[in-house]
Chains A and B, each alone.
Chain A
Amino acid sequence: MAKVLFGKNISAGKYQLLLSSLKSFPDLLSDQQDQALWLVTDNAYDVQSYHDDNAIELIIMACEGDDSEHIQLAKNFPKLQHLLGANAPYEEDELVKMWAELTCQNQWGPQSIVEDCLFERRLYFCDSSSIAQSIDQLLNEQDFGAHLIGQIDYFKTTANELITNAFYHSPFGPKDRKNKINLKDDQSIVFEVAINQKRLAVSVTDSYGLLSWDKMVKAIARAQEERRFVDEGEGAGLGLRMVFDNSNQIIVRHCPNRRSEVISVIEHYKRQLDFKQRIKSFHYYMRDHL
């Protein structure tokens, strides 16, 4: 168990909110010695000044302002693994889920993010040439209209990019995206979608765990900085940035060499403007075991 440490420069309002979110996690506020520390702040200066302290295991930051600056910060300070959009519609709920996941370590799938599901669907992909067709079919079979106002294209793009990435980062097939891949059943890519009254979550899980936090943050940061595709790799280097742009929250769970899961959360907004103005959250959870 770790202990939560509040940054020196945290604002009073955020401190109260964070403290309130910790009500059900008293162990995280205990005073036991020799515990790893999880630094919590809403101030970038705290991230920089505490980052090199060996006692700090990870950093959680409530973010305001420009999303791309937060990604740059995470790229430069790898212990910063939780970025919480300061204008999140269910901020405390998001924090409570984060504490639960950080202390429990065994959650997979979108169900813990999307409680009281109204709709849930799971698809297994072995054939990379069936991605777009399967997503279209899902959208035809299920009316997502009320839950994805103006965001159907975002949903399609996100699903397409995450599943395609999972196929072509697998150790089992060609890397060139013009070549199709057929995986065995036990190597299949799992796609899940879950919806409740607050949000929709798209989850893509692979069975080989090669998508690290570092890779993901660097890929998004590069695409944001350079605004160009890459020609030397297998992908275009733009897909994760598109997923980031099309999501309100990204949640990554990673058990190295065994499993990776990326969840894109799209919250329900009446207006696209509100969706776009929501500062993005990004959570990374490292797993020691499945």
Chain B
Amino acid sequence: MSEKLVIQTQISGQKVEAQFIGSIDEDASFEKLTGLHMTEYVFDFAQVKLMNSCGIREWIKFLEQLPSSSKTIYKNCRQIIVEQMNMVQGFLRENAQIESFYAPYYCEECDKESQVLLKMSDVKDRKAPQSLCPTHQCPMEFDAIEQQYFNFIRSK
């Protein structure tokens, strides 16, 4: 069996924060969230291990079931999530907000790659912000194609 998706929720007033843990695939069930009828949904992707093509379909179908007036916020989006945001229409709802996401960086000096958590406000004109290597604080280089990786910012 694949590691079933676990959704941990925290509700405060009309806002729910959902943490996804495991794989988003054809067996993923979002029922725990669809019946809630909240005004704000916060999705935390930090612990998503895999998202396959059928998982993307389940995800978009789930979004379509949420109240149209509700606000959706995405946080801690791993690279696998960012790449699908960029490639598949509907992955982000019309007025979705991205709070934070991971981006690949590389430190030439330490010969190491890192995933750096960026806030939306860190990215100006779809240019990667400067980041320091966690080991020796040396400057790192962004390690993807900016135009592609930050495409979701424009297409949102």
Residues of A within 8 A of B (CB): 129-133, 136, 149-150, 153, 156-157, 160-161, 164, 177-178, 226-229, 231, 235-239, 241-242, 245, 270-273, 276-277
Contacts and interface: CB of A to CB of B under 8 A. Distances in A.
Interface of B: 1-3, 23, 25-27, 49-54, 56-57, 60, 78-80, 83, 87-90, 104, 106, 111, 113, 141-145, 148
Given A129-B2, A228-B89, A272-B104, A161 B144 contact: no
Contact of B2 (A132, A228, A270): A132
Contacts of A131: 2
Contact of B25 (A132, A136, A228, A242): A132
Given A132-B3, A150-B113, A273 B145 contact: yes
Given A150-B113, A228-B89, A276-B148, A178 B26 contact: yes
A156 B1 CA distance: 15
Q: Main SS of the interface on chain A?
A: helix
Contacts of A226: 89
Nearest to B104: A272
B80 A153 contact: yes
A199 B99 CA distance: 36
A272 B113 contact: yes
A161 B23 CA distance: 13
Contacts of A133: 1-3
A273 B26 CA distance: 31
25 contacts: A129-B2, A133-B2, A133-B3, A153-B78, A156-B49, A157-B50, A160-B50, A164-B52, A177-B26, A177-B54, A228-B90, A229-B60, A235-B53, A236-B53, A236-B56, A238-B56, A238-B57, A239-B54, A270-B106, A270-B111, A271-B113, A272-B113, A273-B106, A273-B141, A277-B145
Contact of B88 (A153, A160, A227): A227
A277 B23 CA distance: 28
Contacts of B56: 229, 236, 238
A227 B89 CA distance: 6
A17 to B, nearest CB: 26
A157 B80 contact: yes
B113 A242 contact: no
Contact of B53 (A153, A227, A239): A239
A239 B53 CA distance: 5
Contacts of A277: 145
A273 B140 CA distance: 13
Given A227-B89, A237-B53, A239-B53, 18 more contacts: A132-B2, A132-B3, A132-B23, A133-B3, A136-B3, A153-B50, A157-B80, A160-B50, A161-B53, A178-B26, A229-B53, A229-B90, A236-B53, A238-B53, A270-B106, A271-B143, A272-B113, A276-B148
B154 to A, nearest CB: 14
A154 to B, nearest CB: 9
User: Which 10 residue pairs are nearest across A and B when measured between Cβ atoms?
Assistant: A132-B2, A239-B53, A238-B53, A236-B57, A236-B53, A177-B26, A229-B57, A272-B143, A227-B89, A273-B143
A220 B141 CA distance: 31
A40 B106 CA distance: 38
Contacts of A241: 87
Contacts of B145: 273, 276-277
Contact of A161 (B52, B57, B90): B52
A24 B143 CA distance: 39
Nearest to B78: A153
Given A178-B26, A272-B104, A132 B50 contact: yes
Given A132-B25, A133-B2, A276-B145, A227 B113 contact: no
A107 B50 CA distance: 32
B53 A129 contact: no
Contacts of B2: 129, 131-133
